[in-house]
Chain A
Amino acid sequence: MHILVVGGGMGGTILANNLARRLSGELEQGSSKITMLSATDKHMYQPGLLYVAVGKMSTTELYRDQKSLLEPSIDFHVDPVEKFDMDNNSVTTKSGKKISYDILCIATGSRGNAAGIPGLAENACQFYTEADALAMYKKLQKFEGGKVVVATGVPHKCPMSPLEITFFLVDYFKKRGIWDKVDLHYTYPIGRVHSLEPVANWAAPEFDKLGITYETLFNMKEVVPGKVISEEDSSAEFDLLVTVPPHKGQQVIEDNELGAGGFIPTDKKKLNMEGRENVFVLGDTTNLPISKAGSTAHFEAEALGENIAALVQQGEPVREYDGKVFCFIEAGDGKATYAMFDYNNPPNPQAPTSGLHWFKTAYNRMYWASARGII
């Protein structure tokens, strides 16, 4: 049985390691094989970019060699897929190799699409790539006060990042002693300050306490120097614009017409691609209406690992993904809280504590054990 994992990000790596552990006997005997194809030999801890943008982490802490995170039994190649031929159970890679599979797992992730909104990329700071996060930090360092606007596009990666960057900006300006010269304004696309109602109910009073103003039903239409204009015909003037840009799936998914916007239609419980029993999708690549977060990919990978191993060993899956997501929320001032939810249970964030902030701070360095499938 040949299992092919396409994508070496958080979801693909945790899944491949999970499978390698569960199928160690089959891999040793040679009756099963796991191959991973990735676009790069480096693995990035993407949630760390938020911290880089405000000078709380260095970029060197974000990377490890992909090979060092994988079980030795996984056949790893830096050779991204360019063509999917699902009717014949094969893919073609950039180097021209044709690779057949019995089970295909697609975890290619998503990417920021600031270019989708005219003027956004040119006029706003963002933090979804190393270069952007560093550029944002440099811009913040030069900022001496004025109106700062946070604007969010949909869909976007990491559901808590609009709130977290807002709270971190307060910390950053306070630390530099210029908070009294800053007017911080938060905008959000729907009728409350966060997509999850309990999180919005927690966050709005926190904004009030800090003197952060906010405006809801604000969908970015266009950005011109000094002004962001919404689809709703309102606008916000700024001296510094920080954006969580809209995201879309990877180009290869769009090119192969596997799903609109690069997101593949996926069964919410079995995680197989709709209409394909031997193709599974996880992480940001799915079109599921749940958070595009690292923890989503993590919990999906665990459910999928158990199921694919059961398919190989017993011919039947054994569990369903319940929609579990766990997101830390950095609340500034050395405190954090979290939101945990699934398909049936909404989140219920509590008052932030120092302990949860330390937990998140420690987890930022313990992620690599998570990627290896240990925690």
Chain B
Amino acid sequence: MSSEISVQQQVDRFMQGAGDALTDDTVARLGFMINELLIIADRITRNKNIMKLLEMSESKDFAKVLDALGNAVESQKNAPKSSGIGGMLKVMGDPNVQNSLRLLGSINKELNK
């Protein structure tokens, strides 16, 4: 008798092993998980806003925004604390701060359209 077993026998043994290892509880849990994943996938793919966000996330600008956010959070940790009217005037004089305020103003204008 050959010690080699056919591919069909291997598949049969694998299925037999999988069958013996599974319990109703395991199958029920897997079924539950597949159900939730399907519903999540359905919600995501049918939600135009999420699809827009996903599309945006692939652009270079989006990566740049994420980098900028990360860098800003990091630099804020080491930034000297400035307070009072003098400090505020100094911050307001920064061209980057002025650009940021203009951007926020534009967003506000769009939201109110």
Contacts and interface: CB of A to CB of B under 8 A. Distances in A.
Interface of A: 21, 56, 334, 354-355, 357-358, 361-369, 372, 374-375
Contact of A362 (B19, B34, B46): B34
B51 interface: no
B27 interface: yes
A363 B42 contact: no
B35 A365 contact: yes
Q: Is the interface of B mostly helix, strand, loop or mixed?
A: helix
12 contacts: A354-B19, A357-B24, A358-B22, A361-B27, A362-B28, A363-B31, A365-B32, A365-B34, A366-B35, A368-B35, A372-B39, A374-B42
A361 B38 contact: no
Contacts of A368: 35, 39
Interface residues of B, number: 15
Interface in B28-77: 28-32, 34-35, 38-39, 42, 46
Contact of A361 (B24, B34, B46): B24
A334 B26 CA distance: 13
A375 B38 contact: yes
Interface of B: 19, 22, 24, 27-32, 34-35, 38-39, 42, 46
A198 to B, nearest CB: 27
A290 B96 CA distance: 73
Contacts, number: 46
Contacts of A354: 19
A185 to B, nearest CB: 28
B12 to A, nearest CB: 13
B28 A364 contact: yes
Contact of A365 (B22, B31, B42): B31
A362 B30 contact: yes
Contact of B39 (A357, A363, A374): A374
B31 A366 contact: yes
Given A362-B34, A365-B28, 9 more contacts: A334-B24, A361-B24, A361-B27, A366-B35, A367-B35, A368-B35, A369-B34, A369-B42, A374-B42
A369 B38 contact: yes
Interface centre among A56, A362, A363, A364 (most CB of B within 10 A): A362
A372 B31 contact: no
B45 to A, nearest CB: 10
Contacts of A363: 31
The 9 A-B pairs of least Cβ separation, nearest first, read A362-B31, A365-B31, A365-B32, A369-B38, A366-B35, A358-B27, A361-B27, A369-B35, A366-B31
Interface centre among A56, A354, A357 (most CB of B within 10 A): A354
A366 B34 contact: yes
A135 B38 CA distance: 34
A56 B39 CA distance: 25
B29 to A, nearest CB: 8
Contacts of A358: 22, 24, 27
A364 B38 CA distance: 15
